[in-house]
Copies of this chain bind each other. A is one copy, B any other.
Amino acid sequence: METPATGGLTIREADDRDRDAIWEMFRATVAPGDSFVYYPNTPREEAMAYWFAKGTRTYVAERDGQILGSYILRPNRPGLGDHVSNAGFMVAPAARRAGIGRFMGEHALNEARRLGYRAMQFNFVISTNETAVRLWQQLGFRIVGTLPGAFRHAQKGFVDAYVMYRLL
């Protein structure tokens, strides 16, 4: 019997000691300019202000003390829209294609339910990031909107971004 690639993986809320690992992951994630809206040269301070913003819950996925992924969960809108959650995900480059994104996605959906949210929305899934689009579809998200040319892809120029949504 094969050990699942996510065996031994645990998810917990992040704390200040995780900032270095999260920053390394952030830097690697934005570097190619093909899947994240933040600039490849985003300064650490701006990245941390986003990932640890007030009102945002920050989680890390770790195994044997190593941080392999991180995600954030927050209301997508304030006030009369705060029953819809929003989440963002990163996986460490060396740990990709091992199910960690899916593991975190399922965890995020459960957390969102536990916290009383009624839906989850992604505002800006890059259409050319097929791995992400497929993963979110497999987790029950639908493309509910297409934003024409809304992302400046480092190689491909202006490409569409999707709004994806699922009820919980």
- Asked if A144 and B148 make an inter-chain contact with CB atoms under 8 angstroms apart, the answer reads yes
A154 and B158 CA atoms in complex are apart in Å by 39
A49 to chain B, nearest CB (A): 11
Per-position 1/0 for A65-77, Cβ under 8 A of B: 0000000000011
| Contact A119-B150, Cβ < 8 Å, known A144-B145, A145-B144 | yes
| Contact A145-B148, Cβ < 8 Å, known A37-B80, A80-B37 | no
Interface size counted on chain A using CB atoms at 8 A? 36
Per-position 1/0 for A136-168, Cβ under 8 A of B: 000000001111111111100010010101010
A163 to chain B, nearest CB (A): 5
A115 to chain B, nearest CB (A): 16
